[in-house]
Structure 1
Amino acid sequence: MDEAALLKKSDGPVTRSRLVRDLTALGLGHGDVAMFHTRMSAVGYVAGGARTVIDALRDVVGEPGTLMVTCGWNDALPYDFTDWPQAWQDALRAEHPAYDVELSESDHDYGRLPEALRLRPGAVRSRHPDAGFAALGAAATTLMADHPWNDPHGADSPLARLVALGGRVLLLGAPLDSLTLLHHAEALAEAPGKRFVDHEQPILADGKRVWRRFHDIDSSEGAFDYSSVVPEGQDPFEAIAQDMLTAGMGRRGTVGAAESHLFEAAEVVDFGVAWIEEGLGRPR
């Protein structure tokens, strides 16, 4: 969408002060620990782009608050690279760069904001190459420290700590299926047929490049087969989030030109676990 169209969509420039007013009206507040997902094109023409959005969010949560994003790693190897021809595998094992919390780019599929936030002075990025996060603010180190290598969406993960700190999740123009916190609900839920993945990535250990194996729920294809409870063509996370809204959870509002939502992290996880276990059944 070109600039003129974005300006028209948002009825003029979306400035830092306008974002602060809209975010405050939505319910985001001073001292909040907030994980956020953003679709910039939905917000409209943001004067200053990603920098302005982060500045506005920091204005609202203030010095005691913390912002958190999903980062991942844009150059992570696909899980199935071990099925490639042996010569290809050998070349990758010899020279594929290691994940570096300082240098490795965030996954481009998550948009501009994660990379912009992780590059901010004072930002802390978690050590996990595939399921990594970044945070900025008072609780950043608490959220990111010692991200478990295995079960990185489960107990003691940054997502679990977000819940423990009374955190919130902001969808700033982002679709409901971007509610990454529901991966934590998947990790906790006890239902039949839970899918896991084991994969390898090169990381830095004491400054040296080493290969490490990781074990996690299948957050790419889905930890469960939801086909019996979710209509074909609908994302399971969207279905869960829609049911949450129907149940009266979360707040809706407009930020810039974007329909936005604000959820309580603990409610998301509790509802998500119950929804999965009731819909798919508990294992016998």
Structure 2
Amino acid sequence: MDERALLERSGGPVTRSRLARDLAALGLRAGDVVMFHTGLSAIGYVAGGPQTVVGALRDVVGSRGTLMVTCGWNDALPYDFTEWPRAWQDALRAEHPAYDPATSEADHNNGRLPQALLRLPDTVRSRHPDVSFAALGPDARALMDEHPWDDPHGPDSPLARLAALGGRVLLLGAPLDSLTLLHHAEALADAPGKRFVTYEQPVLVDGERGWRRFTDIDSEDGAFDYSGVVPEGARPFGVIAREMLAAGIGRRGTVGAAESHLFEAADVVRFGVAWIERKLGGKAVAPGG
């Protein structure tokens, strides 16, 4: 979409102060610990782009608040590279750069905002190559340090810590199915058919490049087969999020030109675990309980 179309959709430039006003009206507060997902073009013409969005978020949460994003690693090896021809594997094992939290690019599929946050001084990034997160603020190290190598979406993950800290999740023009925190619900849910992956990535350990094997839920192709419980073509996380909103969990509002949503992290986890267990035949727990 060209600039003029974006300007018309957002009724003029979306400035830092306008974003801050809209975010406060949505319910974001000073001191919040908030994980955010952003659909930048949905907001409209943002004067200054990603740094303006980050700046507005910092203005609202203030010096006591902490911002968090999901990063991943743009150059992570595919899970199945160990099935490639031996010569290809040998070349990668010899020379593929290790994941470095300080320099490795965030996954481009997560948009421009994670990389914008990574550029800022004092941003802390977690050590996990495939599931890295980043945070900026007084709770950044509490969220990021010692990210578990295995079960990186599960207990003691940055997602678990976000919920434990009373954190929130902001979908700033991002679709409901981008609610990454629901991967934590998948990791916790006691339901049959949970799918796992084991894979290898090169990492830095004490400053030295080496290879490590990881085990996690299958967050790429789905930790569960949801085909029998969601409409054909629907994304499971979007279905869960819409049911949360229908149950009165979360807030809706407009930021710039974008429909946006704000959730309490603990509510998302409780509802997500209960929904998965109820729908997929695990423990019978009422949503929200």
TM-score, length-scaled by structure 2: 0.97
Q: Which residue of 2 aligns with 1:124?
A: 124
Q: Which residue of 2 aligns with 1:93?
A: 93
How far is 1:279 from its partner? 0.2
RMSD after superposition: 0.6
Q: Distance in 2 between matches of 1:202 and 1:75?
A: 11
Q: Which amino acid aligns with 1:25?
A: A
SS in structure 2 of the partner of residue 215 of structure 1: strand
How far is 1:207 from its partner? 1.3
Q: Distance in 2 between matches of 1:204 and 1:143?
A: 20
Q: Which residue of 2 aligns with 1:72?
A: 72
Q: Distance in 2 between matches of 1:216 and 1:206?
A: 23
Q: Is 2:179 the partner of 1:189?
A: no
Q: Which amino acid aligns with 2:61?
A: V
How far is 1:136 from its partner? 0.3
Q: Which residue of 1 aligns with 2:166?
A: 166
Q: Which residue of 2 aligns with 1:14?
A: 14
What's the CA shift string for 1:104-148, capped at 9, x where partnerless? 000000000001101110100000000110000010010000000
Q: Which amino acid aligns with 1:262?
A: L
SS in structure 2 of the partner of residue 187 of structure 1: helix
Q: Distance in 1 between matches of 2:37 and 2:30?
A: 19
How far is 1:244 from its partner? 0.2
Q: Which amino acid aligns with 2:122?
A: G
Q: Which amino acid aligns with 2:75?
A: D
- Aligned runs of 1:140-151 on 2, under 5 Å? 140-151=140-151
Q: Is 2:177 the partner of 1:177?
A: yes
Q: Distance in 1 between matches of 2:107 and 2:132?
A: 10
Q: Distance in 2 between matches of 1:207 and 1:215?
A: 23
Q: Distance in 1 between matches of 2:276 and 2:119?
A: 36
SS in structure 1 of the partner of residue 115 of structure 2: helix
Q: Distance in 1 between matches of 2:205 and 2:123?
A: 21
Q: Distance in 2 between matches of 1:243 and 1:86?
A: 47
Q: Is 2:38 the partner of 1:35?
A: no
Q: Percent of counterpart pairs with the same letter?
A: 76
How far is 1:55 from its partner? 0.3
Q: Which residue of 2 aligns with 1:253?
A: 253
Q: Which residue of 2 aligns with 1:239?
A: 239
What's the CA shift string for 1:232-276, capped at 9, x where partnerless? 100000000000011011000000000000000000000000000
How far is 1:226 from its partner? 0.4
Q: Distance in 1 between matches of 2:223 and 2:187?
A: 8
Q: Which residue of 1 aligns with 2:157?
A: 157
Q: Distance in 1 between matches of 2:190 and 2:11?
A: 47
- Contiguous gaps of at least 5 residues in structure 2: 284-289
Number of aligned residues: 283
Q: Is 2:264 the partner of 1:264?
A: yes
Q: Distance in 1 between matches of 2:207 and 2:56?
A: 36
What's the CA shift string for 1:152-209, capped at 9, x where partnerless? 0000000000000000000000000000000000000000000000000000111111
How far is 1:282 from its partner? 1.4
Q: Which residue of 1 aligns with 2:4?
A: 4
Q: Distance in 1 between matches of 2:148 and 2:17?
A: 38
Q: Distance in 2 between matches of 1:259 and 1:61?
A: 20
Q: Which amino acid aligns with 1:276?
A: I
Q: Distance in 2 between matches of 1:214 and 1:129?
A: 10
How far is 1:221 from its partner? 0.5
Q: Distance in 2 between matches of 1:161 and 1:206?
A: 25
Q: Which amino acid aligns with 2:209?
A: R
Q: Which amino acid aligns with 1:202?
A: P
Q: Distance in 1 between matches of 2:123 and 2:208?
A: 23
Q: Which amino acid aligns with 1:14?
A: V
Q: Distance in 1 between matches of 2:206 and 2:124?
A: 18
Q: Distance in 2 between matches of 1:64 and 1:178?
A: 26
Q: Which residue of 2 aligns with 1:224?
A: 224
